[in-house]
Structure 1
Amino acid sequence: MSYTGPEFAPHQPRRSPLRRPLTVALAALVPGALLGWGVYAAVGAPGGDGGTDRAAAAGTASPAPAATPATPASPATGTRPASPRDDAKDPAATPAAPAPASLKGKVVVIDPGHNPANFQHPTEINRKVDVGTHWKECDTTGTATNAGYTEARFTLDVAHRLRDLLQEQGATVKLTQDGDREYGPCVDERARIGNEARADAAISIHADGSAAGNRGFHVILPGAVHQGAADTRAIVAPSADLGKRVADGFGRETGTAPANYLGGGTGLVTRTDLGGLNLSTVPKVFLECGNMRDAQDEALLTDGAWRQKAAQGISEGIVSFLRG
């Protein structure tokens, strides 16, 4: 056997120049290996007791959800496509549609043609009045259907419906008569009522008494008159505008066509012989809503639902005119 001691220490081999770096590397690796083993021991191998202990310690907590992957940018625009929430409308951020402007301050005169009691006063309504271009009867009884439904009843009913619609929008409405007079008023007074009210628009409501087969509505516009007490020059243009708008609204709401017997299919007729137009100083038109002597038109004129549509159409025309 050999013996080592201070005196007999064996010869030490010469150290390699790589030995120190290797030693340092091993020294760095050993703690990492030991740390990994410690973690493994703490966690436990698959199926081992360590996993069971962790589950018990964690209780019933669910694992954190995976992060939602980002939506890729569009190669064409470089922008991210909108997600469903991007397109969601915020009711509070959506501006409400502006309410229609009120007709407060606007004055409309409605002239229901004739009077239900005119037939009881033939002397009074046959009296002549000056309408500028000539003298004309104060008023007439108006026409009626073959079954006896009178024009005066029809015009008053439509006038009431129209008044309600216009008042709901803030307009001041005045009727030339409301079935509250013995007769009339005469045509010159009807015009004067609109003039004195300084109406922004005036309309006289009628129904025609033409031959059977003649159907449809028409609007009568004032022609240019400058004679005697009549001077319509200032109201011809605005009255034409009013009449066109009333015709459009009336036709649209009632679904009826312009008259097939006058007006050339336009539903517009110009006249210079009507005192209610000749003597007016405010924009004014007459509306003949249909022919009471035609069976098909009669069925419409005597129907309350249709009369409401008629009032709605007239209202839309007048409102359109007043709002410009």
Structure 2
Amino acid sequence: MRNEDFVPPTPRPGPRLRPVFTAAALACACLTAAGCAGDGGRSPSAGPGAASRPGSPPPSPSSGQPSAPATSPAAGPLPRGPLTGRTVVIDPGHNPGNRDHTREINSQVDIGTGRKECDTTGTATDSGYAEARFTLDVSRRLRTLLEEQGAEVVLTQDGDRPFGPCVDERARIGNKERADAVVSVHADGSATGNRGFHVILPAAVHGGGADTAKIVAPSRDLGERIAGNFVRVTGSAPSNYIGGDTGLDTRDDLGGLNLSTVPKVFVECGNMRDPEDAALLTDAGWRQKAALGIAGGISGYLKK
């Protein structure tokens, strides 16, 4: 798929390296494997949404007014656990409704170092399973796993708005929540034969409204932990076409990262255009493993 504001990067030649995951990244997190209901980036992208706070009608991104971020639909207080007192923002890439709102999502927004489309439609498998459906399903599963550990989880959208939010608004939601960690969930849309996952890290960017100096190092720590746990839990290998076999890729052209003031990464869970990866991405059991892998990385980062 294509991440929210992704533009396929120019291939970077170089030696292929072995994964550089830290020991902490490979540590096993104590997470339950319980699933949850629900139904994803690097070429053009798509995305799902977050559950809005009760009583808040989903405002239109074109109105210029930020929408209320989605909180958990769970009733009652969160259980106490190792992540009690921590706030995590989950950003399901794209929105299933984006394809019906091309004018709105093609509008330009400021990403700090320039201007870019509000959002994109995302990719899909050859059978038509949309990235936006994938990202929303994995994000909901991830929310459940983190809440079981006591974390306060906010989704940028939960299928509760007609399109968007725009990439700049997605960043603002994490900033406003003063999140301890933000993870944007995606699936790629590259060529057949390109397989595996990768985690996108923010580059050092300073210009316009963007200044990532304070989040580059903690975001890398978060990304390495997620990558290591993703390998362990899902059995998937790091991307064979991005990141030199490390599973890590640094980008300076994504508004969702450039405008963030809190640690944030993107996770491209696999390539929807490759038949073997697509078979995994469309399997509910594997999507639960993907959520567990991401949750383990977030948990390890927050408990360090």
Q: What's the TM-score once normalised by structure 2's chain length?
A: 0.73
Aligned match of 2:255: 275
Q: Is contact 2:81–2:150 with CA below 8 Å preserved after alignment?
A: no
Match for 2:281 among 285, 298, 301?
301
Q: Which has the higher helix share?
A: 1
Determine the C-alpha separation between the residues in 2 that align with 1:232 and 1:257. Answer: 29
- How high is the sequence identity, in percent, across the aligned residues? 71
* Structure 1 segments unaligned to the other structure (5+ residues): 1-99
Q: Which runs of 5+ in 2 are unaligned?
A: 1-79
CA distance in 1, matches of 2:279, 2:84: 36
The amino acid across from 1:104 in the alignment is T
Q: Is structure 2 residue 206 aligned with structure 1 residue 226?
A: yes
Q: For residue 102 of structure 1, report the CA deviation from its aligned partner.
A: 2.0
Q: Does 2:272 correspond to 1:292? A: yes
Alignment match of 1:321 (pick from 267, 290, 301) = 301
1:101 CA drift (Å)? 5.4
- TM-score, normalised by the number of residues in structure 1: 0.69
Structure 1 runs (4+) greater than 6 angstroms displaced? none
Cα separation, 1, equivalents of 2:135 and 2:212: 25
Question: 2:178 matched to 1:201?
Answer: no
CA distance in structure 2 between the aligned counterparts of 1:107 and 1:312, rounded to whole angstroms: 18
Among 242, 251, 256, which residue is 1:262 paired with? 242
Matches of 2:242 and 2:198, distance apart in 1: 8
- Asked if 1:118 is matched to 2:79, the reply is no
Residue type at the aligned position of 1:185: P
Tell me how large the CA RMSD over aligned residues is: 0.8
1:170-206 Cα offsets, whole Å, 9 max, x none, are 0000000001001000000000000000000000000
Written as runs of structure 1 = structure 2, the 5 A alignment for 1:180-219 is: 180-219=160-199
**CA deviation digits over 1:143-187, x for unaligned, max 9?**
000000000000000000000000000000000000100100000
Q: What is the CA–CA distance in structure 1 between the aligned matches of 2:290 and 2:98, rounded to whole Å? A: 25
Give the equivalent residue in structure 1 for 2:72. none
Find the aligned partners of 1:266 and 1:182 in 2 and give their Cα distance.
Answer: 37
Q: 2:227 aligns with which of 230, 247, 252?
A: 247
Equivalent position amino acid for 1:136 in 2:
K
SS at match of 2:219: helix
**1:144 counterpart letter in structure 2:** A
Match of 1:158 in 2: 138
Q: Which amino acid aligns with 2:121?
A: T
Q: Counterpart of 2:168 in structure 1: which amino acid?
A: D
Provide the C-alpha distance between the structure 2 equivalents of 1:126 and 1:253, rounded to a whole number of angstroms: 37
Cα distance per residue 1:253-306 (max 9 Å; x no partner): 000000000100000000000000000000000000000000000000000000
Quick one: distance in 2 between partners of 1:207 and 1:133? 25
1:103 maps onto 2:83 in alignment: yes
Deviation at 1:251, TM superposition (A): 1.0
Count of residues paired in the alignment: 225
Q: Is the 8 A contact 2:81 2:148 kept in 1?
A: no
SS of the residue 1:108 aligns to: strand
Give the residue type in structure 2 aligned to 1:151. E
Larger relative contact order (C-alpha < 8 A, sep ≥ 6)? 2
> What's 1:146 paired with?
126
Q: Which has the larger radius of gyration?
A: 1
SS at structure 1 position matched to 2:214: coil
Name the aligned partner's letter for residue 235 of structure 1: I
TM-fit CA distance, 1:134: 1.2
Matched, 1:129 2:141: no
Q: Within 2, Cα distance between the matches of 1:238 and 1:267?
A: 17
Name the CA distance, whole Å, in 1 between partners of 2:101 and 2:81: 44
How many Å separate the matches in 1 of 2:290 and 2:184? 14
